[in-house]
Structure formats: structure tokens, C-alpha cells
């Protein structure tokens, strides 16, 4: 056997270890009426409805495996994937949208996911599937702005030289879904996020802009990013005013560690670069 073949086998073994369906089946196990997710156990006798939501380039394959395991126990759901990454699902709606710059399909699908989050009640279980690309595929915009302004801002941020954490600090504070705010929308239902990381170090608040994790950043830091990369003059007056109102305390901050909305939220990292290596 030559070295090229050996190298290819090593490479493919790494890829196979982080295939979305394999990662889901490792963490989600149904045994009669007992659902095990990671180290958590749930008796389905005490759960009214199960919703599946999520976004990311790998979320379609993740959702397909969730359907294989839970089947008709799924009440409904919605996930968003990049164009060309969809697959056939029976119980979960799927939308294709643009990445890395959001488009109208992404905005519409995000509204649908927020509607599902709002329907979930105390005795319901919401499983959120997140993977790389979730930030762009789960977009929204402040009521003072528009999709066009947010698309322009995303383009500016991506091409500014800013790091992913800096970009996400801005995104989170112009959103009602990012930076832990999806968890706020789902509460008081139980929320389990199954997360496939493509970010070095696996900071959960950075993957897909951390929609189900506490957000350590602030409105003030979001403004500082725009100043650092000389974007202030290119951002609309409405967006700047919105951020400054947040900085002044006139708009709610993203939920921080210790916020009650995270009492029934569990974030489980199911795969990352290290696992593949």
C-alpha cells in the first residue's frame, strides 16, 4: 500500500468521525419511552410536544437522523440550510437560504422558527440543531432597519478583517434570536441544543452566534467593533441609533450567564475539529 492511499484513508476516517448523522446517533438514543440526549434522560410520558429547530450547513443531515430516531413523536419543526444542502424530511420543514450573506429566504425562515419557539410551553421539549454557517442562515433584523441594510452590514463585516467573535458581537445586538435570545424565546420549554462546531476552541457563544447560550458581549462592544474597522460611516443612521439606545440601557441586553431563561437550557457539543483530528 502506498503512502497516498494511507493518507487518503486517514483523511476519510477523520471526515467520517464527524458526519452529522453519526454524531446525532451517538448522542440521541430512544429506548421505549425513555429519550437519552447526551447525559440527560427524559421520560416521554411527561413531555407534551417535541419540536425540532435549527440552522447550519450540516443541520439537514442532523435533522434527518433525528427523524430516524424520533419519527412520528416529532410534533413539528423548521431548519435552515445553505442552498444545495437540503434533504428530504417528513416531520420537519426545511428552508434553503444564502450563506455567508443572508437573503430573504433566511429572514422568512427565521421568523418561522421564532413562531415555533413561541408556541413551545412548559411541558414541551425543543431540540435545536446548530452547525457552521448558522449565523448567516438564522438572520433577522431590528424593527428600525430592513433586510437590505442588514445584508449590507453583513457584507461590510465579512470583508472588514474583523474576527468571527467581533462580527458576532455586532450581529447579536441587531437580533432577537442570536446571543442567547432564541433560548429566551423558547423558555419556559426545555431546550436541548446539539452543536457541531467549526470554530477553533469551540466557544459555544460564537458558534452560529450562540442563539442558545449566554452572551458575554454588550451593545458597547458592538459599537466598538464598528469603530475599530472604520464602518461607522457606512452603517445606516437607524442601526447606529438602535445600538446607541442599547448602550444607554434603553433596549434590552442579550441574556447573560445566570439569566433564568437558561435554567432549562442544555448545550451539548457533539462534534468539533479535534474529534476529526
What span, in angstroms and rounded, lies between the C-alpha atoms of 19 and 134?
Answer: 17
Q: Between 70 and 164, whose confidence is greater? A: 70
First and final C-alpha spacing in the chain: 22
What span, in angstroms and rounded, lies between the C-alpha atoms of 145 and 197?
Answer: 30
Work out the pLDDT band at 132, boundaries 50, 70, 90.
confident
Q: pLDDT value at position 180? A: 97
3-state secondary structure of 52: strand
Read off the pLDDT of each residue in 142-151 and give the average, rounded to a whole number: 89
> Any idea which residue has 458575554 for its cell?
216
Write down how long the chain is.
277
CA torsion, points 209, 50, 186, 271, in degrees to nearest 10? -20
pLDDT in tens, 195-228: 999 888 888 998 889 999 999 999 999 999 999 9
Q: Show the DSSP H helices in 18-103 as ranges.
A: 20-27, 59-70
Going by the DSSP 8-state scheme, the letter that residue 44 receives in this structure is G
Q: pLDDT value at position 70? A: 97
What span, in angstroms and rounded, lies between the C-alpha atoms of 239 and 232?
Answer: 10
3-state secondary structure of 120: coil
Domains of the chain, CATH where assigned = 3-137+266-276 (3.40.50.10180)
Work out the pLDDT band at 74, boundaries 50, 70, 90.
very high
CA separation, residue 192 to residues 61, 149, 189 (Å) = 17, 32, 10
What span, in angstroms and rounded, lies between the C-alpha atoms of 81 and 79?
Answer: 7
Four-residue CA torsion sign, 51, 55, 59, 64: positive
What span, in angstroms and rounded, lies between the C-alpha atoms of 180 and 259?
Answer: 10
What span, in angstroms and rounded, lies between the C-alpha atoms of 66 and 129?
Answer: 10
Amino acid at each position: 500500500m502506498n503512502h497516498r492511499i494511507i493518507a487518503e484513508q486517514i483523511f476519510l476516517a477523520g471526515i467520517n468521525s464527524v458526519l452529522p448523522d453519526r454524531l446525532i446517533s451517538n448522542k440521541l438514543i430512544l429506548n421505549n419511552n425513555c429519550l437519552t440526549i447526551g447525559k440527560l434522560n427524559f421520560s416521554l410520558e411527561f413531555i407534551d410536544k417535541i419540536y425540532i429547530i435549527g440552522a447550519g450547513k450540516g443541520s439537514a443531515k442532523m435533522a434527518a437522523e433525528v427523524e430516524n430516531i424520533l419519527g412520528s413523536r416529532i410534533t413539528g419543526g423548521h431548519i435552515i440550510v445553505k442552498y444545495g444542502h437540503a434533504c428530504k424530511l417528513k416531520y420537519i420543514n426545511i428552508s434553503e437560504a444564502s450563506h455567508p450573506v443572508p437573503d430573504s429566504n433566511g429572514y422568512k425562515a427565521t421568523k418561522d422558527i421564532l413562531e415555533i419557539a413561541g408556541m413551545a410551553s412548559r411541558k414541551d421539549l425543543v431540540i435545536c440543531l446548530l452547525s457552521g454557517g448558522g449565523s448567516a442562515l438564522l438572520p433577522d433584523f431590528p424593527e428600525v432597519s430592513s433586510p437590505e441594510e442588514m445584508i449590507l452590514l453583513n457584507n461590510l463585516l465579512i470583508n472588514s478583517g474583523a474576527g468571527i467573535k467581533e462580527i458576532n458581537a455586532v450581529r447579536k445586538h441587531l437580533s432577537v434570536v442570536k446571543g442567547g435570545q432564541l433560548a429566551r424565546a423558547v423558555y419556559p420549554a426545555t431546550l436541548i441544543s446539539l452543536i457541531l462546531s467549526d470554530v477553533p476552541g469551540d466557544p459555544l457563544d460564537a458558534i452560529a452566534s450562540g442563539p442558545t447560550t449566554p452572551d458575554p458581549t454588550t451593545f458597547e462592544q458592538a459599537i466598538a467593533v464598528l469603530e475599530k474597522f472604520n464602518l461607522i460611516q457606512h452603517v445606516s443612521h437607524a442601526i447606529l441609533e438602535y445600538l446607541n439606545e442599547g448602550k444607554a440601557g434603553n433596549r434590552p441586553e442579550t441574556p447573560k450567564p445566570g439569566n433564568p431563561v437558561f435554567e432549562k437550557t442544555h448545550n451539548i457539543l457533539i462534534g468539533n475539529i479535534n474529534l476529526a483530528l
